[in-house]
Amino acid sequence: MISAGDFRNGITIEFEGNVYQIVEFQHVKPGKGAAFVRTKLKNIINGGVVEKTFRPTEKCPQARIDRKDMQYLYSDGDLFNFMDTETYDQIALNGETVGDALKFVKENEMVKICSYNGSVFAIEPPLFVELQITDTEPGFKGDTATGATKPAIVETGAKVMVPLFVENGEVIKIDTRTGEYLSRV
């Protein structure tokens, strides 16, 4: 159990039958009346954000989230297959659970599988990936003082905006959180 007075960003709690991660918290002590803790909570299962206030003495059970490194093997229709590299156990997750998480992940890459009480709710790709460009139009010389970009398709099929000087076949580094081009490799 964790009291509301001990809330910190990133802590996961069980509240009203759901599991929430604390995104933001603020201890408020008004001039008149009792102190309280104002929080912004993100539901880790469906991603919804709610705002709640707690008395500092209120207690919530702390939720335990398991993060396990697994290797992404392949997709088979709507199922995505992963393997634990220590025990060689394999699991298959549906497209609804996976969502956009594998947009920049190639087969045989390592990802983190997040689960709560044995049920997987999210997949965390590596923060940065290096992918080869399979299709982009040639850049044209001219007014490039503004940092002009063009669309490019990478080997996983995702679309990324890249600078004009990047060409087909080049390997680029991408930030998976924002989907932005970082550099050439």
- Cβ contacts of 69-76, under 8 Å, gap ≥ 24: 69/110, 69/111, 69/112, 69/113, 70/110, 70/111, 70/112, 70/113, 71/108, 71/109, 71/110, 71/111, 72/102, 72/105, 72/106, 72/107, 72/108, 72/109, 72/110, 72/111, 73/107, 73/108, 74/107, 75/102
Q: Reply yes or no on domain 2-60 having CATH 1.25.40.10.
A: no
For the chain, the domains span 2-60, 65-124, 128-184
| pLDDT for 8 | 85
Count other Cβ atoms within 10 Å, centred on residue 137.
11
Determine the 3-state secondary structure of 9 from DSSP: coil
- Which structure tokens are listed for 77? 């229709």
What is the H or E stretch that residue 97 is in? helix 95-98
Domains 65-124 and 128-184 agree in fold? yes
Rounded distance, CA 36 to CA 24, Å? 14
Looking at residue 145, its pLDDT comes to 61
65-124 folds as OB fold (Dihydrolipoamide Acetyltransferase, E2P) (2.40.50)
| Regions of the chain where pLDDT drops below 50 | none
Where does residue 153 rank: exposed (0-12), middle (13-18), buried (19+ CB within 10 A)? Answer: middle
CATH-assigned architecture of domain 128-184:
Beta Barrel (2.40)
Neighbours of 22 (CB within 10 A): 19
How far apart CA 113 and CA 175 sit, in angstroms, is: 19
